[in-house]
Every structure is written in structure tokens, then in C-alpha cells.
């Protein structure tokens, strides 16, 4: 029988929201959170129905929830349109001329679109889609740089009931090909190219490559962005700006059933083909709009910046649908954080007066590595709230973010969620929840999260186990596109009656959730189950370490030995002595069982393009095996080559 995951690190720092923040916040005290959460859990449908009423419905729902496990339908019988909720609804009042999008290209140009202007562009493009035979229910594949046209094409699809499926602009032609086949898309929207670190990325060329031998795709609509030469296939390819000459800006949003599909977003599993996660309209919009309002504490005057690309779920939920449904002003930045210098983010914040910044731990650790002098060069006093998502944030990085970016004054919302959950499920509320560095704290309203053992029984304080959600929520995935059996098996079979997240976690004595990593990555050293996040966190707690990834490798005596891959800060150099110092450091912080058997210094770690460390690959390197399985989501293949080389030396 497997034991539960053990926990050895203890974080004692607590940060209470300031009076200044609290007095203007949507939720103003911890007691209010606790009371409202308890109430929302007793009757989640009541809570969600009341939040859904803030949206514009063309027809009101008959039933809030129809739950035939594991299949949920929300706001059954209701009709609405996501594009209308993000745009038209704001045009009758003072938001009409408010900036919806402030965009900055990597080369430095800026474009601002007011709600009125964005609405107009979306209507034009929706008419272009119609002119090119896109009908309600059709899938449209979007492969774009982070330019306003990416958002415009999403909202235009939503406006006419087409289902968008975005492929991140950094992915290869193979990824496009697979996703076109799986989704059955007949139309592709792309651009000639985009900018990344001063180079142009040849998007249209990648699409051409993906469409070689393909007869399914009838139309490719190309936006002009990078002014690079592309080949245009007569009868298949058209230019966005040319098409715009043939249509007007009049395109009413059509009423859609609440359960009408809004988008498919592919996410890679550790094996097998990517899963097409299907999200629908009414529940998704209710979930993302509600969480955006409470968690980012959105106010009319905020300048909100989520640094994710639209190719990720974070870009869908918290760059586009959630904030725009709230009438927020959103910053969009096309390029790399260190182009031309490592202070690009801080420059943007200063110049645009950003008040809320939502980014990923991987970016924060990179900024730490580049040095404190870069943020110091800028006035960041406009910021009032910070957020993170994507991985556990180690307390060291949290403290750095809090001090160097937040000036010690901004709450940090560490938000836990997934492509599948569609919306944030575990998070602090910035005016209410006392924060501890490294934890996503407590469940959002209406969410019943728990940690259970291998038999599905809830475990006690500080005992590790599987993170599950025990009740349906409105933005949950409805299925894996075209594969209901896989949906059931993947998410609803591991723990009876619960949604299984795949994450390992523990709750501390205050009930706070600490995510310790993916269950598949958990270490088992001499019968002790350790979360990767804790050992990594201990390592990053040492002043020489910028980033680390810890994996197990087979060990005859202990079952598994611990191998730590370590990237040093720019101020330190690898040495045998330092390796020994780091081993001891982990031993002191956690205990002798967690002491790495081997420290491997690396220049970089293999990551997905959204910044998550791919421990699966490191595990293979650590045990000397050849790399197998899906590597299409890997950001930089040369990192792997360098790592395998250093192991041979």
C-alpha cells in the first residue's frame, strides 16, 4: 500500500491584507470570505445563478445545473453570446470610449482599441468569417502572434457561434497538423509572421507546411503583421485587410444555447495524443467573469496585465473572456520579457501605469536570475495587486516578487487551476485572505476541494494526497473533444465521484492548500513519499540557486534516489564544493531523506512553452535512459541535448 506524501518544510510567514487595500476591495475580510464560502458550498447553484445574472442573457435559463456525473450542463435553456457580453454590453455607458486593449508590439509600437473600436473590428472580422463560409458550430483554427487580431478573431468566432481552437504561435507545423485533423477545422486564421527576440517567426510558412497534402482546409485568412514575404495559394488563401474591403461593420451577435461550444484548447498529456479540452458558453463565461472580478478585485480604473499568450488557457480566461466581460482595460504585449533588455516588463508597467500584474513563477525566477537592478530602474508604484499561475511558486520567489515588484505593498494572488477547470479554483481573495508565501490558500466560492488518499478518504492536516474537486463548477470542461471514454477515464475514475486533478497536495493546520507537484512526479525515497516542490523550494532557498528541478531515479537500496538539476544565479559558478553545500542545505531544511544523491548543474531546464518544467524528460536523463514520448511541447530542444551531454562527461 502506498503511503501518503510527507511534508517537512514549514512556512511561518503570514501577510495580512493592508487596511488601505481592504477598504476598497470586493471582499473585505477573512470572516466575510469564510461566511460566504460556507454559504456558497451549501447551495452552489444559488451562488452561481446570482453571479450569472450579472451577464446579459438573451433568454434566461430554466435550470441552473443538470448534473449527470461526470457530465454537467449549466444554465440549461438559457441563451447568450460571449462576444456580446465582452463588447456590446459596454457600449451604452461610459465604457464605450474606455480602452479595452492597450497593445505593445515587440519592436515597440503601440495600439489602443476602445470598446467601441474593438467591437467594430470584431464585427468586421465576423463578417469576413461568414463571407468565407464559416457557419455556427464550425471549428476555426487560430495560429497568431500576440496582436489585437488574435483577440479579434476569437471574439468574432464567438459572435457567430463558430468554435475557436488556438494553437500557440510558438508551436511547429506538426502541432497545427494534428490539431486540424482532430478538430476538423476547415478555416485557419494566421499572420504572415510575428516578432520574438528581435527575429521574425514565419507563421504562414508553418501553416503551409502543415497543410501540405491537406484537403480539409478550404480557407486560410492571413493578417499582415511582420511584413515578410509569404506565398499565397490561389483559391485557398486570402488577406485579412483585403477581405475587409468587401464587408461592413454590422454583425449582430447571435443568441447561443448556454451549452453551445465556445472553444477547444489542446493540452498535452505525458503520453499519447493531445487532448482537446472542450469549453462551452454560459458556464465558462460566468466562471471566468466572476473569478476575474473577485480575485483580481477589478475596478473601473484598473490597468490589468496578464502576460500569458492567447495560446494558453490563461490567455483565454484571464486575458480575454474574464476581464473583457468585466469591462476592464487590458494590456497585451507581443514579445519576450528580456527584449531588448531584461527590464521590458518594468518599463511597460511604468509607462502604461499597470495596476494589476498576473504572471508565472517561471518568469519570476528568470527575473530573479537576471538581477534586482532591472526592476529598480523603474517606478512601479502604480501596481496594487500581483498574481501568479502555472506552477507552485517557491517561497523565495514569492518573497522576491513581493519585495522587488510589489514594493512590499501589493497582495499576491497565487491562483491554482488548469486548462480543464477553465477558471481559478483555489486562490486567495486579495482583500480578505492572510497570505503565506508558497500556497494558493483556499477554494473559491462554490468550490469543494479536498485531499484524499488512495482509497478516496480525506486525509488529515499536513498529510499529503491527491487533490480532488468534489462538486461540479460552471467553467469545468465538458468532455475531451470526440473522446468521452477518455474524459471519464482521465478525470473521473481515479477517485470515486470526484474530479481528479492529477496534482499532489496537502492542507496545513489552517486548511490552506499546498500543491506539491504532479502526482506522477512524486518521489519515493526509502518509503518516504516526497513532493518535488518541497525539495526544489529548499534548493531555491539557497542564495546561489536561481531554479531547480528534482526527480527520482531508480536506486537498488532506497527505491528511488534524488537527483537535483540546478541552475545557478548569474553571480555563482558551479563547483564540487557548492554541490556539497547544496546537498547539506537540503538536508538541513527538510531532513536527511531528502538530501539529493546527486546535484547536476545546468544552464537551463527543459520547459514547456508555457514555462512548466518537464520533469518527465529529466527523469529519463537522470536514469541514463534515452528520451522517449512526446517532446513537441518542449520550448528549446537544445536544452535537452546540453543536459544529456553534461551527463556523459
The answer to whether residue 418 forms part of the interface with ligand 7RM (CB under 6 A) is: yes
CA distance 158 to 83: 6
**Which of 79, 267 has the CB closer to ligand 7RM?**
267
Provide, rounded to whole angstroms, the least separation between the CB of residue 430 and ligand 7RM.
15
The answer to whether residue 30 forms part of the interface with ligand 7RM (CB under 6 A) is: no
**Cα angle value 487/418/174 (rounded, 5°):** 70
- Contacting range for ligand 7RM; rule: CB under 6 A; set: 241-249, 295-303, 413-421, 473-481: 413-421
The answer to whether residue 494 forms part of the interface with ligand 7RM (CB under 6 A) is: no
**Cα angle value 51/84/59 (rounded, 5°):** 60
**Which of 70, 78 has the CB closer to ligand 7RM?**
70
Residue 195: how many other CB atoms lie within 10 Å: 20
The answer to whether residue 532 forms part of the interface with ligand 7RM (CB under 6 A) is: no
Q: Which residues contact 45 (CB under 8 A, 6 or more apart)?
A: 64, 65
Tell me which of 314, 355, 433, 560 binds ligand 7RM, using CB under 6 A. 314
Window 262 to 281, contacts with ligand 7RM (CB under 6 A) = 267
User: Which three cell numbers mark 200?
Assistant: 521574425
Provide, rounded to whole angstroms, the least separation between the CB of residue 308 and ligand 7RM.
8
Pairing label, strands 163-166, 139-143: parallel
Provide, rounded to whole angstroms, the least separation between the CB of residue 260 and ligand 7RM.
23
Helices (H), 561-614: 576-589
**Which of 51, 503 has the CB closer to ligand 7RM?**
503
DSSP conformational letter for 245: G
Q: In what order do the strands lie in the sheet with 559-568?
A: 545-555, 559-568, 598-601
The answer to whether residue 390 forms part of the interface with ligand 7RM (CB under 6 A) is: yes
CA distance 298 to 304: 8
Burial bucket for residue 501 (CB in 10 Å: 0-12, 13-18, 19+): buried
The answer to whether residue 396 forms part of the interface with ligand 7RM (CB under 6 A) is: no
Tell me which of 86, 313, 563, 618 binds ligand 7RM, using CB under 6 A. 313
The answer to whether residue 515 forms part of the interface with ligand 7RM (CB under 6 A) is: yes
Provide, rounded to whole angstroms, the least separation between the CB of residue 502 and ligand 7RM.
6
The answer to whether residue 537 forms part of the interface with ligand 7RM (CB under 6 A) is: no
E strand spans, 391-463: 412-414, 449-452
**Which of 118, 277 has the CB closer to ligand 7RM?**
277
The answer to whether residue 415 forms part of the interface with ligand 7RM (CB under 6 A) is: yes
Site string for ligand 7RM, 604-643 (x = CB under 6 A): ------x---------------------------------
- Contacting range for ligand 7RM; rule: CB under 6 A; set: 10-18, 119-127, 335-343, 416-424: 416-424
The answer to whether residue 518 forms part of the interface with ligand 7RM (CB under 6 A) is: yes
CA distance 358 to 281: 24
The answer to whether residue 88 forms part of the interface with ligand 7RM (CB under 6 A) is: no
Tell me which of 100, 163, 207, 389 binds ligand 7RM, using CB under 6 A. 389
Residue 107: how many other CB atoms lie within 10 Å: 12
- Contacting range for ligand 7RM; rule: CB under 6 A; set: 61-69, 212-220, 489-497, 500-508: 500-508
- Contacting range for ligand 7RM; rule: CB under 6 A; set: 31-39, 168-176, 282-290, 495-503: 495-503
Provide, rounded to whole angstroms, the least separation between the CB of residue 155 and ligand 7RM.
21
> Using an 8 Å Cβ cutoff, are 265 and 276 in contact?
yes
CA distance 140 to 164: 5
CA dist 554 → 495, 506, 559 (Å): 28, 25, 6
For 66, the enclosing helix (H) or strand (E) is: strand 63-68
CA distance 175 to 183: 12
Provide, rounded to whole angstroms, the least separation between the CB of residue 269 and ligand 7RM.
11
Q: Which residues contact 100 (CB under 8 A, 6 or more apart)?
A: 87, 90, 113, 114, 115, 117, 118, 324, 329, 330
Window 185 to 214, contacts with ligand 7RM (CB under 6 A) = none
DSSP conformational letter for 509: T
Task: Give the residue carrying C-alpha cell 514594493.
Answer: 407
The answer to whether residue 391 forms part of the interface with ligand 7RM (CB under 6 A) is: yes
CA distance 164 to 157: 6
Task: Give the residue carrying C-alpha cell 478555416.
Answer: 187
In three-state secondary structure terms, 547 is: strand
**Which of 114, 532 has the CB closer to ligand 7RM?**
532
The answer to whether residue 183 forms part of the interface with ligand 7RM (CB under 6 A) is: no
Tell me which of 100, 160, 399, 440 binds ligand 7RM, using CB under 6 A. 440
The answer to whether residue 392 forms part of the interface with ligand 7RM (CB under 6 A) is: yes
Provide, rounded to whole angstroms, the least separation between the CB of residue 326 and ligand 7RM.
19
The answer to whether residue 501 forms part of the interface with ligand 7RM (CB under 6 A) is: yes
**Which of 40, 532 has the CB closer to ligand 7RM?**
532
- Contacting range for ligand 7RM; rule: CB under 6 A; set: 184-192, 397-405, 496-504, 559-567: 496-504
CA distance 615 to 621: 10
Exposure of 129 in the CB half-sphere (CA atoms within 13 A):
34
What letters, b where the CB count within 10 A reaches 16 and e where it falls short, cover 534-551? bbbbbbbbbebbbbbbbb
Query: Can you give the binding site for ligand 7RM, defined by CB under 6 A?
Result: 267, 313-314, 389-392, 414-419, 440, 501-503, 515, 518, 610
Amino acid at each position: 500500500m502506498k503511503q501518503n506524501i510527507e511534508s517537512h518544510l514549514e512556512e511561518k510567514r503570514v501577510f495580512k491584507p493592508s487596511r488601505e487595500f481592504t477598504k476598497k476591495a470586493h471582499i473585505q475580510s477573512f470572516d466575510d470570505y469564510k461566511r460566504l464560502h460556507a454559504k456558497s458550498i451549501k447551495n452552489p447553484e444559488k451562488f452561481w445563478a446570482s453571479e450569472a445574472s450579472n451577464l446579459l442573457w438573451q433568454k434566461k435559463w430554466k435550470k441552473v445545473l443538470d448534473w449527470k456525473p461526470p457530465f454537467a450542463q449549466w444554465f440549461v435553456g438559457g441563451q447568450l453570446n460571449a462576444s456580446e457580453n465582452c463588447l456590446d454590453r459596454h457600449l451604452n455607458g461610459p465604457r464605450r470610449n474606455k480602452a479595452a486593449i492597450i497593445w505593445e508590439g515587440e519592436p515597440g509600437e503601440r495600439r489602443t482599441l476602445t470598446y467601441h473600436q474593438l467591437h467594430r473590428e470584431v464585427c468586421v472580422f465576423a463578417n469576413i468569417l461568414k463571407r468565407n463560409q464559416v457557419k455556427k458550430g464550425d471549428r476555426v483554427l487560430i495560429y497568431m502572434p500576440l496582436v489585437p487580431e488574435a483577440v479579434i478573431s476569437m471574439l468574432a468566432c464567438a459572435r457567430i457561434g463558430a468554435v475557436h481552437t488556438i494553437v500557440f504561435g510558438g508551436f511547429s507545423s506538426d502541432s497545427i497538423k494534428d490539431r486540424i485533423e482532430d478538430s476538423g477545422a476547415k478555416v485557419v486564421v494566421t499572420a504572415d509572421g510575428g516578432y520574438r527576440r528581435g527575429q521574425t517567426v514565419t507563421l504562414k510558412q508553418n501553416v503551409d507546411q502543415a497543410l501540405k497534402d491537406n484537403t480539409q482546409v478550404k480557407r486560410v485568412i492571413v493578417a499582415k503583421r511582420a511584413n515578410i514575404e509569404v506565398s499565397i495559394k490561389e483559391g485557398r488563401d486570402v488577406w485579412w485587410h483585403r477581405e475587409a474591403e468587401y464587408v461592413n461593420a454590422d454583425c449582430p451577435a447571435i443568441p447561443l444555447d448556454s451549452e453551445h461550444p465556445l472553444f477547444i484548447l489542446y493540452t498535452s498529456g505525458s503520453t499519447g495524443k493531445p487532448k482537446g479540452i472542450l469549453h462551452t458558453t454560459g458556464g465558462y463565461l460566468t466562471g471566468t467573469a466572476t473569478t476575474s472580478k473577485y480575485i483580481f478585485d477589478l475596478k473601473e480604473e484598473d490597468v490589468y496585465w496578464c502576460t500569458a499568450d492567447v495560446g494558453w488557457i490563461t490567455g483565454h480566461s484571464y486575458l480575454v473572456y474574464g476581464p473583457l466581460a468585466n469591462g476592464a482595460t487590458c494590456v497585451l504585449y507581443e514579445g519576450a520579457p528580456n527584449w531588448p533588455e531584461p527590464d521590458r516588463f518594468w518599463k511597460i508597467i511604468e509607462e502604461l501605469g499597470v495596476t494589476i500584474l498576473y504572471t508565472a513563477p517561471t518568469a519570476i525566477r528568470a527575473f530573479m536570475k537576471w538581477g534586482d537592478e532591472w526592476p529598480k530602474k523603474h517606478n512601479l508604484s502604480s501596481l496594487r495587486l500581483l498574481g501568479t499561475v502555472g506552477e507552485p511558486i517557491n517561497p523565495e520567489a514569492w518573497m522576491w516578487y513581493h519585495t522587488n515588484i510589489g514594493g512590499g505593498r501589493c497582495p499576491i494572488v497565487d491562483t491554482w487551476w488548469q486548462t480543464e477547470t477553465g477558471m481559478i479554483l483555489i486562490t486567495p481573495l486579495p482583500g480578505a485572505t492572510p497570505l503565506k508565501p508558497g500556497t494558493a490558500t483556499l477554494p473559491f466560492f462554490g468550490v469543494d476541494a479536498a485531499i484524499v488518499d488512495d482509497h478516496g478518504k480525506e486525509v488529515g492536516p499536513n498529510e499529503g494526497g491527491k487533490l480532488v474537486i468534489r462538486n461540479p463548477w460552471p467553467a469545468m470542461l465538458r468532455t475531451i473533444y470526440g473522446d468521452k471514454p477518455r474524459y471519464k477515464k482521465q478525470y473521473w475514475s481515479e477517485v470515486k465521484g470526484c474530479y481528479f486533478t492529477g496534482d499532489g497536495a496537502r492542507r496545513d493546520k489552517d486548511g490552506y492548500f499546498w500543491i506539491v507537484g504532479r502526482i506522477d512526479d512524486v518521489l519515493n525515497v526509502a518509503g518516504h513519499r516526497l513532493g518535488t516542490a518541497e525539495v526544489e523550494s529548499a534548493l531555491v532557498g539557497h542564495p546561489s540557486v536561481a531554479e531547480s528541478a528534482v526527480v527520482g531515479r531508480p536506486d537498488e537500496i532506497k527505491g528511488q534516489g534524488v537527483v537535483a538539476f540546478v541552475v545557478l544565479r548569474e553571480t555563482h559558478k558551479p563547483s564540487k564544493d557548492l554541490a556539497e553545500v547544496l546537498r547539506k542545505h537540503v538536508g538541513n531544511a527538510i531532513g536527511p531523506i531528502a538530501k539529493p544523491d546527486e546535484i547536476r548543474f545546468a544552464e537551463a531546464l527543459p520547459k514547456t512553452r508555457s514555462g512548466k518544467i518537464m520533469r518527465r524528460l529529466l527523469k529519463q536523463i537522470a536514469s541514463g535512459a534515452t528520451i522517449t514520448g512526446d517532446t513537441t511541447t518542449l520550448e528549446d530542444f537544445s536544452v535537452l541535448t546540453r543536459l544529456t551531454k553534461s551527463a556523459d562527461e
